[in-house]
A and B are shown apart, each in its own frame.
Chain A
């Protein structure tokens, strides 16, 4: 597929460090507007660090991260969020000292065009029932994941970074999350997904990048998935 538009997110030669340890060794990939792109790879391959480096949470980083043509590499994470990128972290990051409603309303609106509360409840009807719950962390794992995704849909961010949204969840919840990601794509959101579960990723993604040891080692589109299944088993060690 030929695409001549500039990518919404362009990552080039991204390197990142945690203290002394060099985690990312020059990661390059791009995400175009409206796409769902998945980073696949084993534990420790650098997927989460890539997300955190884009978001500015990992501060010790070099290379280039351009969003809508704007360079983000020197910016601090609160400024990066304000450009219209939102993160749903792997550990979900639901706050115990905030009620469910406060958790949902916490991220400030950074741009117009975010979903309304009603639209978020259409996607996650369970959340509406649990809204009165006094403590965000009293929700089940699946509900916490929905809350973690739901709250960033309000902000107007166009690019969503979803870090392993299916981790540790029951199959029926994983199906609901998959349905949600497809619905979000239809509504025009662009999504960068981190996954270890490529069977799940195959139900939502347009393209894949495979990471290992802090580098991108392979890439393919969704329609090339069948031809690459053996290679993927190798990469992911499943």
Chain B
């Protein structure tokens, strides 16, 4: 058997793949958090619940209407994103001028309510979501077996992250967003409808979370607490990448997924804490995060 540093290569690549999968979700979720924080100045604690809602929406679509994975991948983000827009219009918009703490508390409360309702209807046990037929099976790469669905998750997540980054950094709309993040009053005085942009940005960030939730449904079970388990790690990712940094969220998301996977191979005892150790070190050296602008 081939070994690398005394580790069987199959185990190493297997954990690397799991790391990349986890990283795909970290990246999608922290990207949404970064976009929302940049525009709204709100730390969206409901992000995990919105991710869970995406998975639940996919599950219910299949149960109630028989609509499968590919439909859910489009419909669930739209529905959950619309739910986000309602929250922004009715609740969040009153908090922008207040301290971060208020937005954090409000979204944390929302997360508890949404998870409580989900637990009431679905129970605490996970519900299985069947894989679409088109993504069953896998490829034997010689050194490891790569399930098709896992490959799809990594590719789709990378594609969505890169597309989002390109829109923000390279387009006219992205220039409006960046400018409005810096000085919303002046951008509005140029004739741009900044409040509408803020609403749509929140809707987009929430839709990203729901998109990640749909992709997660076939891998992890659909359960009410799936979001709260993940979101703590994702917040650590955001802090390491630098609050509000788009590129930071993407790179750190994938990077830390891999770090976590490798830790499982070389020092399994630390695999649950390694991200927080990295966070502590990064905060000591660069308090604004690896990609933070206010260094």
Contact = CB atoms under 8 A, between A and B. Distances in A.
Contact of B182 (A56, A78, A95, A110): A95
B189 A81 contact: yes
Interface in A83-108: 86-87, 89, 93, 95-98, 102, 105-108
Contacts of B181: 97
A180 interface: no
A81 B186 contact: no
Nearest to A80: B189
A78 B175 contact: no
A77 interface: yes
Given A57-B189, A95-B183, A78 B194 contact: yes
A106 B189 contact: no
B185 interface: yes
A159 interface: no
A93 B186 contact: yes
A82 interface: yes
Interface in B185-223: 185-194
Contact of A97 (B172, B178, B188, B193): B178
Nearest to B183: A93
A134 to B, nearest CB: 11
B179 interface: yes
A102 B175 contact: yes
Interface string A61-88: 0000000000000001111111000110
Contacts of A96: 182
A55 interface: yes
Nearest to A76: B188
Interface in A153-173: 155
Nearest to A82: B191
Contacts of B183: 93, 95
B176 interface: yes
A108 B189 contact: no
A56 B189 CA distance: 8
A39 to B, nearest CB: 18
Most chain A CB within a 10 A radius of its CB, from B172, B178, B188: B188
Interface residues of A, number: 26
B191 A155 contact: yes
A73 B182 CA distance: 26
The B contact surface, by secondary structure, is: helix
Contact of A95 (B172, B178, B293): B178
Contacts of A105: 172, 175
A65 to B, nearest CB: 14
Contacts of B186: 87, 89, 93
A81 B190 contact: yes
A55 B190 contact: no
A78 B179 contact: no
Most chain B CB within a 10 A radius of its CB, from A96, A110, A155: A96
B188 A78 contact: yes
B246 to A, nearest CB: 11
A87 B187 CA distance: 11
Nearest to B181: A97
Contacts of A106: 175-176, 179, 187, 190
Nearest to A108: B191
A78 B178 contact: no
A155 B187 CA distance: 13
A55 B189 contact: yes
B185 A78 contact: no
Contact of A108 (B178, B192, B194): B192
Nearest to B171: A102
27 contacts: A57-B185, A77-B185, A77-B188, A78-B189, A78-B190, A78-B191, A80-B189, A81-B189, A81-B191, A86-B190, A87-B186, A93-B183, A95-B178, A95-B179, A95-B183, A96-B182, A97-B178, A97-B181, A98-B175, A98-B179, A102-B175, A105-B175, A107-B191, A108-B192, A110-B191, A152-B190, A155-B191
Given A55-B189, A108-B191, 5 more contacts: A78-B194, A97-B179, A97-B182, A108-B192, A155-B191
Q: Which 3 A-B pairs have the closest CB atoms?
A: A81-B191, A107-B190, A97-B178
Interface of B: 172, 175-176, 178-179, 181-183, 185-194, 293
Interface of A: 55-57, 76-82, 86-87, 89, 93, 95-98, 102, 105-108, 110, 152, 155
